[in-house]
Amino acid sequence: MDAFTTHTGTAAPLRRSAVDTDQIIPAEYLKRITRTGFEDGLFVAWRTNEPDFVLNRPEYADASVLVAGPDFGTGSSREHAVWALLDGGFRVVISSRFADIFKNNSTKSGLLTVTLPQEQVEALWAAIEADPATPVTVDLQSKTVTYGATTVPFEVEDYIRWRLLEGLDDVGLTERHLADIEAYEARRPSWLPRALPVLGG
């Protein structure tokens, strides 16, 4: 995973709430077995059907920070939603509330999700709509979002922040605790099910 320390870019205002992962990338794009190349599916229905959709507007075409309404990433657990955002050039999504699985998935591939109070999302929307060229800096070291003369702090779990700053992947970290896993396995009740075929069943 690529490390995330700080990122500066322009931002796109996505004034929609409860953006589900079917909108971020529809099911037909999930048939692929690769981990990259999902940019063509990113918000494809809105990009196709709504000429005025924010990402169709040239002033937001190069945005790398997405500022969305509340409850971003609801629905399906598809990690393809995170991959599509990354493939589409986004490094940060800001919202007042995220769906749990999306937020968790984002930490696995180095997409930063930043939770800000809705008033601050509104203020940021106003700023990037007034001037789409406004640079927005998201600094994971100092846990702040800065644009113009405004700097606002955000919260992130220390452990997740450390993993993102270092670009560490979870499997390697867990393998350090193999002894604990083996000890747990020795304690498991023997009647727990095994998925192997039942003979004569």
Partner 1 sequence: MPKTLAEKVYDAHVVRSAEGEPDLLYIDLHLVHEVTSPQAFDGLRAAGRTVRHPELTMATEDHNVPTLDILKPIADPVSRAQVEALRRNAAEFGIRLAPMGDRDQGIVHVIGPQLGLTQPGMTIVCGDSHTSTHGAFGALAFGIGTSEVEHVLATQTLPQYRPKQMAVTVDGELPEGVSAKDVILAVIAKIGTNGAAGHVIEYRGSAIEALSMEARMTICNMSIEAGARAGLIAPDQTTFDFLQGRPHAPQGADWDAAVEHWRSLRTDEGAVFDTEVVLDAAQLSPFVTWGTNPGQGLPLTERVPDPADFADENERRAAEQALAYMGLEPGTPLREIEVDTVFLGSCTNGRIEDLRVAADLLRGKKVDPGTRMLVVPGSVGVKLQAEAEGLDQVFVEAGAEWRGAGCSMCLGMNPDQLQPGERSASTSNRNFQGRQGKGGRTHLVSPSVAAATALTGRLTAPADLIGA
For residues 4 to 33, the per-residue mask of contacts with partner 1, x marking binding by CB under 8 A and - elsewhere, is: -----------xxxx-x-xx--xxx-xxxx
Min. distance of Cβ 1 from partner 1 in angstroms?
9
Min. distance of Cβ 129 from partner 1 in angstroms?
15
Which residues lie below 8 Å from residue 6, measured CB to CB, with a gap of 6+? Answer: 137, 138, 139, 140, 141
Residue type, position 78, single letter: R
Min. distance of Cβ 58 from partner 1 in angstroms?
23
Instruction: Report the candidate in 54, 115, 64, 53 with the shortest Cα–Cα distance to residue 87.
Output: 64
Is position 133 an interface residue for partner 1 (rule: CB under 8 A)? no
| Contact window for partner 1 (CB under 8 A) among 6-14, 57-65, 132-140, 177-185 | 177-185
Angle, helices 100-109 vs 80-87, to 10°: value is 50
Min. distance of Cβ 135 from partner 1 in angstroms?
27
| Contact window for partner 1 (CB under 8 A) among 5-13, 54-62, 67-75, 130-138 | 67-75
Q: What three-state secondary structure class fits 121?
A: helix
Is position 38 an interface residue for partner 1 (rule: CB under 8 A)? no
Is position 70 an interface residue for partner 1 (rule: CB under 8 A)? yes
How many Cα neighbours within 13 Å face the side chain of 153?
A: 3
How far apart, in whole angstroms, are the C-alpha atoms of residue 61 and residue 50? Answer: 15
- Judged by CB under 8 A, which of 109, 134, 137, 146 binds partner 1? 109
Q: Phi, psi at residue 134, to the nearest 5°?
A: -55, 120
Dihedral over Cα of 142, 164, 112, 62: its sign? positive
The residues that touch partner 1, with contacts defined as CB under 8 A, are 15-18, 20, 22-23, 26-28, 30-35, 45, 69-71, 74-80, 82, 97-101, 104-105, 108-109, 118, 157-159, 169-171, 173-175, 177, 180-181, 183-185, 188-198, 201
